[in-house]
A and B are shown apart, each in its own frame.
Chain A
């Protein structure tokens, strides 16, 4: 640890925003630290001011408000697993949280941290994309809500501006006629980085017509994203095996995977087709 840093511990959100406004592009955010502390030790962030958000109570909490589930950006992965609202209204997110790293890391890692880090393999991104989540970005000057889909723009790139921090996330409470499914493919049972992950949500009307669906994919493109073409194929139709298989094929076609230590691009593309078919089938069966 040779890097030259200043560490600030604001006592509340206003103080944190003040520090971020003051330091501008030199102000770096530190939340759970599960990625940042490793990067710090490796000597990144020379001459930077770190603003520690880990003790800000304003960034915690999970609640149901005006038809939305709202969670603080500083909510830890463990808090997602333990909170009954997440189990009841965001099963796909709970499943992803249970497979996130390991219990010791889950106790520190935060949802906002996972999203701001913007890894293609960020485990909370596919379920939150499938849930149509939006993120709340706050600076001293303004507050804005951005669709998560538009928040991550590329490998470790987001629309977060200097001076801004992600204070909260929200998604509409899914309809009672909806179901979701999630899969993470890893190379081991615990503490795995995703080879790929996928989350789907689906809503059928009382005649069995698919009125809403989302198919979100992780670790198969520069950023986690929604396979809109595949989704569009299913909207307005009564689902059957052929239709689901075709949607899964379109989802696989939309990927831009790479070869890396965890798997080849060809493997990822092929497994996306199988995984999405299984997830759509599973969600449709739940709604029968």
Chain B
């Protein structure tokens, strides 16, 4: 019997001919990532044990993306601690403030993360790696063991296959599809439990760009998937080949691989979706909540922070102003996207529209360190999730939509179908 894509990656990185779900393996990662919010905890934990040397400092990637512009003295202190930690540990791949951007976007964009790779990450949104055909494995606080020893135990997860048929209609975004998939799973219409599973996409996937694939990694993660995987298309292979600075081997699942569940979904009739407050799995057709007045809007996050997402929003915003009672925050995924926005005129579109540009990174989606909502306010965003209190007051109403939907809603001041406004959406 063959192996799924992630089983092949884990076998290869663990020096094994084959692995099966439930096996415990110790993969040798291509790199290991730790973000600014957890460096202090890991450093103090290792220091207390007398561990002051890392197993492979050259493989460690430190990223400042969760609290980029220090809205508090505590954040500034943490930033200083992190820089000293990088120096003491000898970590050269330190993408500090203004140097890289979102840790789950810039490595794919820049060619650091390539098809077939495996890496450890403290953060659960490492699942984004599946967009480029790689596997990122969340360690949480156990990232300290990875830093100290170079690896950690991984129990090979079960894989679930979802075959996509049909094409999304114009104006319907991959993020809409992600909300829809989460909702079908929550309702039992797609029969699976994603807890610690890998969701492997199959079927009509050529329609999905790298940004669309990242968007489709997001919602399954909120449904507790531990990995998401797209077999790389020619477009993805070309992207990787143009940027790679080291050898890599793309991975595709074996034809006779075993999946815990084998699901199918026709996406050709899908409408733009809105995830109602409380979770990505609360999606309804946008028409059901069209006209709901909003106060706050945000475009960005690991699921919708790539240049193409910004482009989709800018196409709606071009030549328009956001409603007077709305504040719109835009957090580009990467510093490269910020430069490109300036070069290609998107910056002008956002600023002229009245949006506030945030530094590349997580934006409000990280614990409301920036641009939060107040009690009773209504927000629409592309955040990773809209669990109550995700970015501010617990009784604020947090809706989710695609970048185009958020932009159209910010202009109208109420939840609005992007297909009803002018623009090249």
| B partners with A | no
Interface residues of B (CB under 8 A from A): none
